[in-house]
Amino acid sequence: MCSLFAVNTSKENNMKLKVLVLITSIVSFCVSPAIAQMGTESSAANTPRLNTTDRFIPVIARNGMVTSREKMASQVGVDILENGGNAVDAAVAVGFALAVTYPQAGNIGGGGFMVIHLAEENKSIAIDYREMAPSGADRDMFLNEDGSVDDNRSKYDVKASGVPGTVAGMVHALENYGTMSLKEVMQPAYDLANDGFAMYNYLQSSLNGRKERLMANEAAGKAFYKADGSSYNFGEILKQKDLAWSLKQIMDGGKDAFYKGEVAKRIVADQETQGGLITMEDMAAYVAVERPVIVGEYKGHKIITMPPPSSGGVHLVQIMNMLEEDDLKSKGHNSAATLHLYIEAMRQAYADRSKYLGDPDFTDVPVDELTSKKYAKLTRALIPTDKSRRSTDIAPALNILAESPDTTHFSVMDSHGNAVSNTYTLNFSYGNHKMAAGTGIMMNNEMDDFSVKPGTANGYGLLGGEANSVQPRKRPLSSMTPTIVLKDDKPFFVTGSPGGSTIITVVLQSVFNVLEFDMNAMAALAEPRIHHQWMPDAVIIEDGVSKDTKDILIGMGHTIMPMPFALGSLSTIMYKDGIFYGAADTRSMDAAAIGY
């Protein structure tokens, strides 16, 4: 047994040093017998050595790992892995489970992006299941008669919903890259909806915070609150029978049940009743699309990430290219010199985003140019060493012709070396706060992610142009950045985050923390983060960055904005020396990394 003891501080200095060494040795052993045992186990043959000295310790597993924003959904994924499923099977199961247990962002009424790496084929795939504008949408649909933008309509009106893509995306992934049946991977989600689960802290708080808007919609009020209008308390069982019905329809009838069958009929009937735009033809016409992944090269690693209509992958690689020749490690993690470079590179990337990024099926997106090393050198040369620039002086620099904090992300890795990074969303928390009657499905408000009027900011303050204008059957631009980092062509680090416009910069810093500053999976997301998005011309800096560093940045001309919220909620997995290291963000209540 370990015990603590007092030290006589009157001893001579050399004795103090000896005692300090002794204390360090004892504390290293006594902090956790389990951790100490891990260290002794490392001497066994073929057993990797585990680092037990880090300040932030990730979850450790030998066979696979799932990390998501909600622990019941994470456990669903692990159960699938333990029952012989691969990473794709587990990811699809988690995606459907989050629609039940994390309804503010987990969904079958929204859409998103999935990046998959298949070990056996050494192949990476990007699945675009972003929502699509209905055929009745038009570029001026959210403008007032005087040409001004009606923010309320683009965010909360029933017309704010695009055609959902999640079901098509999940089914496409499972049918093409999974090993289990749709019924097998959806059964846990159905059980959670039909039998219910105990109300947990974060969901209780979220539902209470959105109660007025949700209660204004009869179906949502019925689903999330008691018959007398009161809220469910912690530990009470929440059942979602209408959602269970929808899930059962999909389990039995596949994606056609959602896009052509009874679920589609109920969604469209609700749209007609409420004055929405989505028709049966729109639902039937929806398809998930496979697109070539974006592949960046950074100091011996491959950055596998999402192409447009996500802007995330393009600008993640763009910023990393800009800073590749800088010795960030010697400048110091979160030093003023390092943060200055981050800010200026972010500033350029978001300026480019405003002009060039959109749905590649409707506009030519200069992906190769934006992610080229040549362009990175050009834009890096414009960054001054000792002072900030003003965003009004920065423009999209190519010489060519012309998302809510309550998005959610999950990461999965299996024992075969397969990896999935998935980010999906309703846009705002609970989308437009409208549930399709009789389905239990919250509808998205993704139409706000279009540039409703070029040059006018959306709900996240992002500016956009013609490339992201509203058009029928078009997919809105997104900042979601599901990413897999390969080392020696094998998954090394899987990462992603919610956070609206901040997603790109949050994911960027998690990758830099691992590749530049040698942090483990937990430390990489526990450190304070920053964000700059060109406009508004200000940087958000989380608590934890020193006042001295902030003062230096202010002295260089940077404007620091009061921190309105924590930046992102990363779900990461690292695979190193035969061990899975999982981490759920310390900023997130009830998130969980679970391995086996």
Of 105, 103, 76, the residue nearest 92 (C-alpha): 76
Secondary structure of residue 269 in the 3-state scheme: helix
Which two three-digit tokens encode residue 411?
């990461």
Cα–Cα dist 504/568, whole Å: 10
Catalytic residue check, 407: yes
The residues near 74 (Cβ < 8 Å, ≥ 6 apart) are: 66, 67, 68, 94, 410, 584, 592, 593, 594
Cα–Cα dist 474/483, whole Å: 24
Cα–Cα dist 267/439, whole Å: 7
Of 504, 515, 567, 573, the residue nearest 91 (C-alpha): 573
Residue 195 DSSP class: H
Cα–Cα dist 400/355, whole Å: 11
| Residue in 371, 407, 439, 549 annotated catalytic | 407
Structural contact between residues 129 and 168, judged by C-beta atoms closer than 8 angstroms: yes
Encode 456-513 in three state secondary structure.
Answer: CCCCCCCCCCHHHECCCCCCCCECCCCEEEEECCEEEEEECCCCHHHHHHHHHHHHHH
DSSP per-residue codes, 313-376: HHHHHHHHHHHTTS-HHHH-TT-HHHHHHHHHHHHHHHHHHHHH-S-TTTS---HHHHT-HHHH
- What letter represents residue 262's amino acid? E
Q: How far lies 586's CA from each of 209, 412, 572, 591, in Å? A: 21, 19, 12, 8
Which two three-digit tokens encode residue 459?
């709900």
Cα–Cα dist 196/190, whole Å: 9
Cα–Cα dist 492/573, whole Å: 8
Cα–Cα dist 491/480, whole Å: 20
**Residue 555: other Cβ atoms inside 10 A:** 12
Cα–Cα dist 312/501, whole Å: 9
Catalytic residues: 407
